[in-house]
Amino acid sequence: SQKIEQNSEALNIQEGKTATLTCNYTNYSPAYLQWYRQDPGRGPVFLLLIRENEKEKRKERLKVTFDTTLKQSLFHITASQPADSATYLCALDRRSNYQLIWGAGTKLIIKP
Amino acid sequence: EADIYQTPRYLVIGTGKKITLECSQTMGHDKMYWYQQDPGMELHLIHYSYGVNSTEKGDLSSESTVSRIRTEHFPLTLESARPSHTSQYLCASSERWIAGPSSTDTQYFGPGTRLTVL
């Protein structure tokens, strides 16, 4: 069955460094992949979308890559700040019924 | 900030009670969703709607029901709450889309309802 894997262990990064989060998927070929941010007790907030024919997408300090051969997406935050601390979720489209399937997210902690 | 609202934000209720979780959006979006999320776990789709008078069950089996009488409103009802229903319930919406290779489904979420059934 389709499966999304995100690192379940929290990622601790020093302020100012680049944080890199990983999203791996199996048994699937999505048309696009999305990244969301979720703060405790809140709903996810959309950040970036990357399509299968795109290698890289940028938005301010955020960068997403998509490698359909490796079945992997990397999410980078450059010049990280404590305010970037949150859980980051990746979601893939399910072509069959146009719904999204979600990873469990990786908790990112930026230390001052 | 997305214009999608959920009430109540927190609810503690006894077993057997009937509850309705409210969700409203002011963006005119066609598609709406209900997800269930437990701490540290992925979102599980329990219901969705393509528009007025359209409702579909999601992947996760749920004893809840939904209705979509108005575009902006998508309430979820539990006829008889049980402790196993304790969870975070998230409502989301997305814009009108046309099925095809270029369509995407970017979703906008409400703040969630934290339900505890004793």
Q: Nearest-CA distance from B56 to chain A in Å? A: 11
Residue A8: predicted pLDDT: 84
User: Among candidates B42, B110, B107, B116, which has minimal Cα distance to B85?
Assistant: B116
Residue A2: predicted pLDDT: 73
Centre a 10 Å sphere on the Cβ of residue A71 and count the other Cβ atoms it contains: 18
Instruction: For chain B, state the CA radius of gyration.
Output: 14
Distances in whole angstroms, Cα of residue B6 to Cα of each of A28, B18, B111, B116: 33, 17, 6, 16
pLDDT band at A67 (very low <50, low <70, confident <90, very high): very high
pLDDT band at B20 (very low <50, low <70, confident <90, very high): very high
Quick: pLDDT tens for A44-64.
999 999 998 999 999 999 999
Residue B54: predicted pLDDT: 93
Closest residue, chain A, to B107 (C-alpha): A46
Q: What is the mean pLDDT of chain A?
A: 92
**End-to-end CA, chain B:** 33
User: Among candidates B5, B20, B15, B8, which has minimal Cα distance to B86?
Assistant: B15
Which residue among B90, B101, B109 places its CB closest to the CB of A31? B101
Closest residue, chain B, to A40 (C-alpha): B39
In degrees and rounded to multiples of 5, residue A39 shows phi and psi of: -95, 155
pLDDT band at A96 (very low <50, low <70, confident <90, very high): low
- Residue contact B90–A43, C-beta within 8 A: yes
∠ CA B26-B32-B33, rounded to 5°? 130
With beta carbons less than 8 A apart as the criterion, state whether A37 and A44 touch. yes
Task: Give the DSSP letter of residue A18.
Answer: P
pLDDT band at B13 (very low <50, low <70, confident <90, very high): very high
Residue A30: predicted pLDDT: 85
Quick: pLDDT tens for B55-68.
999 887 778 999 99
pLDDT at B117 over 80: yes
Q: Nearest-CA distance from A112 to chain B in Å? A: 24
With beta carbons less than 8 A apart as the criterion, state whether A102 and A91 touch. yes
Largest CA distance in chain A: 44
Quick: pLDDT tens for B34-56.
999 998 899 999 999 999 999 99
Quick: pLDDT tens for B79-105.
999 999 999 999 999 986 665 666 678
Task: Find the mean pLDDT for residues A57-84.
Answer: 96
**End-to-end CA, chain A:** 41
